[in-house]
Amino acid sequence: MAYGGNVALGFTQSLGWVVDNVSDSWNASILVFTFTIGGLIGLWILSGGTHGFADLLGRRVKGARGAQLASYVAGWFIFLDDYANSAAVGTTFRPLSDKYRVSKEKFSFIVDSTAAPICTIFLVSSWIGYEVGLIGDSLPEAAMMTPYMYFLYSIPYKFYSLMMLALVLILVLWRRDYGPMLKAEHRARTTGKLIRDGAKPLSGGEEFDVVEKVKYRASNMWIPLVILIGMTVFSK
Protein backbone atom coordinates (compact mmCIF):
# COMPACT_ATOMS: atom_id res chain seq x y z
CA MET A 1 0.00 0.00 0.00
CA ALA A 2 2.81 2.40 0.82
CA TYR A 3 4.44 1.88 -2.58
CA GLY A 4 1.44 1.43 -4.85
CA GLY A 5 1.42 -2.35 -4.69
CA ASN A 6 5.11 -2.68 -5.66
CA VAL A 7 6.06 -5.76 -3.63
CA ALA A 8 9.76 -5.64 -4.51
CA LEU A 9 10.13 -1.99 -3.51
CA GLY A 10 8.15 -2.55 -0.31
CA PHE A 11 10.31 -5.53 0.64
CA THR A 12 13.53 -3.63 -0.07
CA GLN A 13 12.41 -0.65 1.98
CA SER A 14 11.30 -2.87 4.87
CA LEU A 15 14.65 -4.64 4.82
CA GLY A 16 16.37 -1.26 4.92
CA TRP A 17 14.39 -0.27 8.01
CA VAL A 18 15.37 -3.51 9.73
CA VAL A 19 19.07 -3.01 8.95
CA ASP A 20 18.98 0.61 10.10
CA ASN A 21 17.39 -0.33 13.42
CA VAL A 22 19.63 -3.31 14.09
CA SER A 23 22.78 -1.34 13.26
CA ASP A 24 21.83 1.41 15.72
CA SER A 25 24.11 1.11 18.75
CA TRP A 26 21.27 1.44 21.27
CA ASN A 27 19.08 -1.17 19.59
CA ALA A 28 22.06 -3.47 19.10
CA SER A 29 22.80 -3.38 22.83
CA ILE A 30 19.20 -4.34 23.60
CA LEU A 31 19.41 -7.28 21.16
CA VAL A 32 22.68 -8.50 22.68
CA PHE A 33 21.15 -8.25 26.15
CA THR A 34 18.11 -10.27 25.08
CA PHE A 35 20.25 -12.96 23.43
CA THR A 36 22.41 -13.14 26.56
CA ILE A 37 19.34 -13.84 28.66
CA GLY A 38 18.31 -16.63 26.29
CA GLY A 39 21.75 -18.19 26.57
CA LEU A 40 21.70 -17.96 30.35
CA ILE A 41 18.33 -19.71 30.53
CA GLY A 42 19.73 -22.52 28.39
CA LEU A 43 22.73 -22.73 30.72
CA TRP A 44 20.44 -23.06 33.72
CA ILE A 45 18.56 -25.95 32.17
CA LEU A 46 21.49 -27.88 30.67
CA SER A 47 23.62 -27.57 33.82
CA GLY A 48 20.81 -28.81 36.06
CA GLY A 49 20.54 -25.47 37.87
CA THR A 50 16.74 -25.25 37.75
CA HIS A 51 16.37 -28.87 38.85
CA GLY A 52 18.83 -28.26 41.68
CA PHE A 53 16.81 -25.26 42.79
CA ALA A 54 13.62 -27.32 42.69
CA ASP A 55 15.23 -30.05 44.79
CA LEU A 56 16.43 -27.44 47.30
CA LEU A 57 12.92 -26.11 47.84
CA GLY A 58 11.28 -29.52 47.59
CA ARG A 59 13.19 -30.87 50.60
CA ARG A 60 11.39 -28.35 52.80
CA VAL A 61 7.88 -29.07 51.54
CA LYS A 62 5.52 -30.96 53.87
CA GLY A 63 2.11 -30.60 52.26
CA ALA A 64 -0.06 -29.11 49.54
CA ARG A 65 0.34 -25.55 50.79
CA GLY A 66 4.10 -25.99 50.91
CA ALA A 67 4.13 -27.30 47.33
CA GLN A 68 2.14 -24.28 46.17
CA LEU A 69 4.38 -21.90 48.10
CA ALA A 70 7.52 -23.52 46.65
CA SER A 71 6.18 -23.00 43.12
CA TYR A 72 5.35 -19.39 43.98
CA VAL A 73 8.83 -18.73 45.38
CA ALA A 74 10.46 -20.35 42.36
CA GLY A 75 8.56 -17.96 40.11
CA TRP A 76 10.22 -15.05 41.89
CA PHE A 77 13.71 -16.34 41.19
CA ILE A 78 13.33 -17.42 37.56
CA PHE A 79 12.58 -13.91 36.37
CA LEU A 80 14.62 -13.49 33.20
CA ASP A 81 11.78 -14.35 30.82
CA ASP A 82 8.09 -15.06 31.32
CA TYR A 83 7.95 -17.98 28.88
CA ALA A 84 11.10 -19.54 30.34
CA ASN A 85 9.67 -18.98 33.81
CA SER A 86 6.46 -20.87 33.00
CA ALA A 87 8.34 -23.67 31.25
CA ALA A 88 11.02 -24.09 33.92
CA VAL A 89 8.79 -23.80 36.99
CA GLY A 90 5.99 -25.81 35.41
CA THR A 91 8.30 -28.65 34.43
CA THR A 92 10.53 -28.87 37.50
CA PHE A 93 7.83 -28.37 40.14
CA ARG A 94 5.11 -30.45 38.50
CA PRO A 95 6.16 -33.72 40.23
CA LEU A 96 6.13 -31.97 43.61
CA SER A 97 2.71 -30.50 42.93
CA ASP A 98 1.34 -33.87 41.82
CA LYS A 99 2.74 -35.58 44.91
CA TYR A 100 0.69 -33.41 47.24
CA ARG A 101 -2.47 -33.43 45.11
CA VAL A 102 -2.49 -29.84 43.95
CA SER A 103 -4.99 -29.54 41.12
CA LYS A 104 -3.65 -28.69 37.68
CA GLU A 105 -5.91 -25.64 37.64
CA LYS A 106 -4.35 -24.23 40.82
CA PHE A 107 -0.80 -25.13 39.82
CA SER A 108 -1.24 -23.50 36.40
CA PHE A 109 -2.65 -20.37 38.02
CA ILE A 110 0.33 -20.05 40.35
CA VAL A 111 2.88 -20.62 37.60
CA ASP A 112 1.23 -18.20 35.17
CA SER A 113 0.68 -15.50 37.79
CA THR A 114 4.34 -15.46 38.83
CA ALA A 115 5.74 -15.36 35.30
CA ALA A 116 4.98 -12.12 33.46
CA PRO A 117 4.29 -10.08 36.65
CA ILE A 118 7.76 -10.91 37.96
CA CYS A 119 9.46 -10.14 34.65
CA THR A 120 7.84 -6.70 34.45
CA ILE A 121 9.13 -5.47 37.81
CA PHE A 122 12.53 -7.11 38.24
CA LEU A 123 15.89 -5.46 37.59
CA VAL A 124 16.86 -7.74 34.71
CA SER A 125 14.62 -9.58 32.23
CA SER A 126 13.77 -9.80 28.55
CA TRP A 127 10.75 -7.58 29.24
CA ILE A 128 12.95 -4.92 30.79
CA GLY A 129 15.26 -4.92 27.80
CA TYR A 130 12.32 -4.19 25.52
CA GLU A 131 10.81 -1.58 27.84
CA VAL A 132 14.10 0.24 28.29
CA GLY A 133 14.52 0.23 24.52
CA LEU A 134 11.15 1.92 24.05
CA ILE A 135 11.92 4.45 26.77
CA GLY A 136 15.28 5.24 25.20
CA ASP A 137 13.69 5.84 21.79
CA SER A 138 11.14 8.20 23.34
CA LEU A 139 13.49 10.29 25.47
CA PRO A 140 14.91 13.61 24.28
CA GLU A 141 18.68 13.88 23.97
CA ALA A 142 18.83 16.12 27.04
CA ALA A 143 17.01 13.68 29.33
CA MET A 144 17.65 14.06 33.06
CA MET A 145 18.17 10.31 33.63
CA THR A 146 19.08 7.18 31.72
CA PRO A 147 16.25 5.04 30.27
CA TYR A 148 16.97 2.36 32.86
CA MET A 149 16.51 4.83 35.73
CA TYR A 150 13.17 5.92 34.28
CA PHE A 151 12.16 2.26 34.26
CA LEU A 152 13.16 1.81 37.91
CA TYR A 153 11.04 4.78 38.94
CA SER A 154 8.04 3.27 37.14
CA ILE A 155 8.03 0.01 39.12
CA PRO A 156 5.80 1.24 42.01
CA TYR A 157 3.11 2.10 39.45
CA LYS A 158 2.87 -1.38 37.92
CA PHE A 159 -0.28 -2.10 39.84
CA TYR A 160 -1.40 -5.24 38.00
CA SER A 161 1.90 -7.05 38.54
CA LEU A 162 2.21 -6.08 42.20
CA MET A 163 -1.41 -6.85 43.08
CA MET A 164 -1.38 -10.20 41.27
CA LEU A 165 1.75 -11.32 43.11
CA ALA A 166 0.19 -10.29 46.42
CA LEU A 167 -3.10 -12.03 45.59
CA VAL A 168 -1.46 -15.36 44.77
CA LEU A 169 0.52 -15.30 48.02
CA ILE A 170 -2.61 -14.52 50.05
CA LEU A 171 -4.57 -17.33 48.41
CA VAL A 172 -1.77 -19.82 49.04
CA LEU A 173 -1.11 -18.86 52.67
CA TRP A 174 -4.76 -18.54 53.66
CA ARG A 175 -5.80 -21.60 51.66
CA ARG A 176 -8.69 -19.67 50.20
CA ASP A 177 -10.17 -20.74 46.88
CA TYR A 178 -13.39 -19.67 45.22
CA GLY A 179 -15.73 -20.83 42.48
CA PRO A 180 -14.30 -23.28 39.93
CA MET A 181 -10.89 -23.22 41.65
CA LEU A 182 -12.46 -24.39 44.91
CA LYS A 183 -14.16 -27.26 43.08
CA ALA A 184 -10.89 -28.22 41.39
CA GLU A 185 -8.96 -28.26 44.66
CA HIS A 186 -11.68 -30.25 46.42
CA ARG A 187 -11.67 -32.79 43.58
CA ALA A 188 -7.90 -33.16 43.69
CA ARG A 189 -7.73 -33.57 47.48
CA THR A 190 -10.64 -35.98 47.87
CA THR A 191 -10.37 -38.13 44.75
CA GLY A 192 -6.76 -37.67 43.64
CA LYS A 193 -7.91 -36.54 40.20
CA LEU A 194 -5.57 -33.67 39.36
CA ILE A 195 -7.33 -33.09 36.03
CA ARG A 196 -11.11 -32.97 35.67
CA ASP A 197 -12.82 -35.73 33.72
CA GLY A 198 -12.78 -35.09 29.99
CA ALA A 199 -10.04 -32.44 30.15
CA LYS A 200 -7.09 -32.66 27.77
CA PRO A 201 -3.74 -31.44 29.17
CA LEU A 202 -2.09 -28.78 27.00
CA SER A 203 1.34 -29.92 28.14
CA GLY A 204 2.77 -33.03 26.57
CA GLY A 205 4.52 -33.95 29.79
CA GLU A 206 7.97 -33.58 28.30
CA GLU A 207 10.97 -32.79 30.48
CA PHE A 208 13.92 -30.51 29.85
CA ASP A 209 17.09 -32.28 28.79
CA VAL A 210 20.07 -31.95 31.12
CA VAL A 211 23.66 -32.70 30.16
CA GLU A 212 24.38 -36.35 30.92
CA LYS A 213 26.02 -37.13 34.28
CA VAL A 214 25.64 -33.55 35.52
CA LYS A 215 24.73 -33.31 39.20
CA TYR A 216 21.80 -31.03 39.99
CA ARG A 217 23.13 -28.01 41.87
CA ALA A 218 21.29 -24.79 42.70
CA SER A 219 24.63 -22.97 42.44
CA ASN A 220 24.60 -23.63 38.69
CA MET A 221 21.65 -21.27 38.62
CA TRP A 222 22.76 -18.69 41.19
CA ILE A 223 26.30 -17.95 40.06
CA PRO A 224 25.51 -16.96 36.43
CA LEU A 225 22.46 -15.04 37.63
CA VAL A 226 24.39 -12.94 40.15
CA ILE A 227 27.03 -12.16 37.53
CA LEU A 228 24.42 -11.01 35.01
CA ILE A 229 22.60 -8.81 37.52
CA GLY A 230 25.86 -7.26 38.70
CA MET A 231 27.00 -6.49 35.17
CA THR A 232 23.61 -4.98 34.28
CA VAL A 233 23.08 -2.84 37.38
CA PHE A 234 26.62 -1.60 37.89
CA SER A 235 27.77 -1.19 34.30
CA LYS A 236 27.79 2.30 32.83
DSSP 75-93: HHH--S-HHHHHHHHHHHH
C-alpha closest to that of 93 among 116, 111, 105: 111
Do 34 and 131 touch, CB atoms closer than 8 A? no
**In the chain, pLDDT over 90 holds for what percent of residues?**
21
* Residue-range domain boundaries for the chain: 22-198+216-234
pLDDT band at 110 (very low <50, low <70, confident <90, very high): very high
Average pLDDT score over residue span 160-176 = 93
pLDDT band at 174 (very low <50, low <70, confident <90, very high): very high
What integer pLDDT is reported at residue 109 of this predicted model?
94
What integer pLDDT is reported at residue 8 of this predicted model?
72
Rounded CA-CA distance 221/78 in Å is 9
What integer pLDDT is reported at residue 214 of this predicted model?
67
- State the Rg of the chain over Cα: 21
**In the chain, pLDDT over 70 holds for what percent of residues?**
81
Q: Is the pLDDT of residue 204 over 70?
A: no
Average pLDDT score over residue span 46-70 = 81
pLDDT band at 181 (very low <50, low <70, confident <90, very high): very high
Rounded CA-CA distance 47/232 in Å is 23
Rounded CA-CA distance 144/67 in Å is 46
